[in-house]
């Protein structure tokens, strides 16, 4: 890792929020001190589950700001195939980052361009059994790498340890590129393993059930920050 201290970001996944009160959940978790809102899009095709689309993203956008009115980025994680048309809709719905799984797109480079042409930051997501090879031809184009530490589709699963080695490899890719690319990890992150994930090289941490599964969001987030610092 760089000797420079990374800026850590905590990105709660609203997949584990109360869907009947999504706007309040976003506001409450932001008031508790998170950095991004992670928005898991599932299509019952690429993954077995089905969640929410661009209209929900658009409805939540006005809620994604701090009590002082500062916008909090919406980090859209697409678990859909095909990618391009809905990615464009999410860009129009106010997404700040849009990431997709390269194995879900027939033309990965084109999908990245489709996202970036809308002025949105683009990311690639790697499943637990998937290699990072596609970075050889895409790293100069992307803003974020998302390593899955569970299989995509559901919240509340256990962290898969081999993700740590993949995070280390992804960090090497980023250092070689010399680019400012976020290294995010998604799945099974808790206050008691977040430090290990950061030590492997991650700087951005998705957590769904660990935060929304507890009554006091701030206390979990504070525990995560303490572990990171
Ligand atoms: C899984 C999603 C994750 C999920 C994480 O497909 O991409 O973002 O919500 O949930 P936890 O933190 O509960 O593992
Ligand atoms: Zn996710």
The ranges assigned to domains in the chain are 9-228
| Residues designated as active site | 40, 186
Q: Is 152 helix (H, G, I), strand (E, B) or coil?
A: coil
Which parts of the chain fold into alpha helices (H)?
Answer: 22-31, 54-60, 84-92, 108-116, 162-177, 194-200, 209-212, 217-228
- Tens digits of pLDDT across the chain (229 residues): 444 667 999 999 999 999 999 999 999 999 999 999 999 999 999 999 999 999 999 999 999 999 999 999 999 999 999 999 999 999 999 999 999 999 999 999 999 999 999 999 999 999 999 999 999 999 999 999 999 999 999 999 999 999 999 999 999 999 999 999 999 999 999 999 999 999 999 999 999 999 999 999 999 999 999 999 9
Q: What whole-number distance in Å separates Cα of residue 142 and Cα of residue 180?
A: 9
Ligand 1 atom nearest to 156, measured from its CA: 13
- The structure tokens listed for 9 are 């970001």
Q: What is the pTM of this model?
A: 0.97
77 and 97 Cβ atoms separated by less than 8 Å? no
Q: What whole-number distance in Å separates Cα of residue 172 and Cα of residue 95?
A: 28
Ligand 1 midpoint to CA 156 (Å): 7
Ligand 1, CB within 6 Å, residue ranges: 13, 15-16, 38, 40, 77, 150, 152-153, 155-157, 186-189, 206-210
- Residues less than 5 Å from ion ligand 2, measured at CB: 40, 77, 186
Pocket test for ligand 1, best of 206, 210, 212, 214 (most atoms within 8 A of CB): 206
CA atoms within 13 A on the CB side of 73: 14
Q: Residue 220's Cα: distance from chain center in Å? A: 18
Pocket test for ligand 1, best of 146, 156, 187, 211 (most atoms within 8 A of CB): 187
Domain 9-228 annotated CATH 3.20.20.70 = yes
């Amino acid at each position: 890792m760089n000797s420079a201290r990374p800026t850590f970001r905590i990105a709660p996944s609203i997949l584990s929020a109360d869907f009947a009160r999504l706007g309040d959940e976003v506001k409450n978790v932001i008031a508790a001190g998170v950095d991004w809102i992670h928005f898991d899009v599932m299509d019952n095709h690429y993954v077995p589950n089905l969640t929410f689309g661009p209209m929900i993203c658009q409805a939540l956008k006005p809620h994604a700001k701090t009590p002082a009115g500062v916008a909090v980025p919406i980090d859209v994680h697409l678990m859909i195939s095909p990618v391009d048309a809905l990615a464009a809709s999410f860009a129009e719905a106010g997404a700040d980052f849009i990431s997709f799984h390269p194995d879900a797109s027939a033309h990965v480079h084109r999908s990245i361009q489709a996202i970036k042409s809308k002025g949105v930051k683009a990311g690639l997501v790697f499943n637990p059994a998937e290699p990072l090879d596609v970075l050889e031809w895409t790293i100069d184009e992307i803003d974020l790498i998302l390593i899955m530490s569970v299989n995509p589709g559901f919240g509340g699963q256990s962290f898969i340890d081999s993700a740590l080695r993949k995070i280390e490899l992804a960090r090497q890719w980023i250092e070689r590129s010399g680019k400012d690319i976020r290294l995010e990890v998604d799945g099974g992150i808790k206050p008691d393993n977040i430090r290990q994930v950061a030590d492997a090289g991650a700087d951005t941490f998705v957590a769904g059930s660990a935060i929304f599964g507890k009554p006091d969001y701030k206390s979990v987030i504070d525990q995560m920050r303490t572990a990171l610092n």
